Structure 1
């Protein structure tokens, strides 16, 4: 059998570059992965309950899906309850009235709006 094995560049997958007759230099291509950061813009709203909002991702009007998350007012109540050992205040931490409200698109899940609670009573 008089067949030659494949060249190194063919076996490895590189690109051969001819320098002189009979000599090859192997070059490799590097794949660089660049992270993509998606940013969404949302607005601050005074609504606790779901409402109709335009979703820029779905490009349709949707009724928002709400999610209650701990925010600034929730943190103040928790600190007061811990510092002064006021056990009834700990029950307020389970109440949605002291948590911030996030409004999401029910189809794609993107954040559309946000309601921030204020403990002073001016933002509720």
Structure 2
């Protein structure tokens, strides 16, 4: 039952409720959701090498470390879990692939490429 003493709600009036998320849903670590100084929740993502701030709708918590959230995510967005420095919305970043590579490692080590399969002979 909805309280309506002042008749602010009229029959047939349209309303918007947040029961059904409007954006894609993702499961994220709770540490990836922070608060702005204004008290608004925020998730930071990397989208096309640019930091973007999204305002998520918190849908539910899964244990102490995970949340279901809804936000305007794109398919290739990457959620930022932690940073060593604050990142502002719009900051451009360049990924560097350094894991497992050294200066002396050749691009393709011998034996890392599969050998060519034997040709099949077909006769008619």
Normalization by structure 1: what TM-score? Answer: 0.18
Q: Which has the higher helix share?
A: 1
Give me the TM-score of the superposition, normalised by structure 2.
0.18
Please identify the structure whose Cα radius of gyration is greater. 1
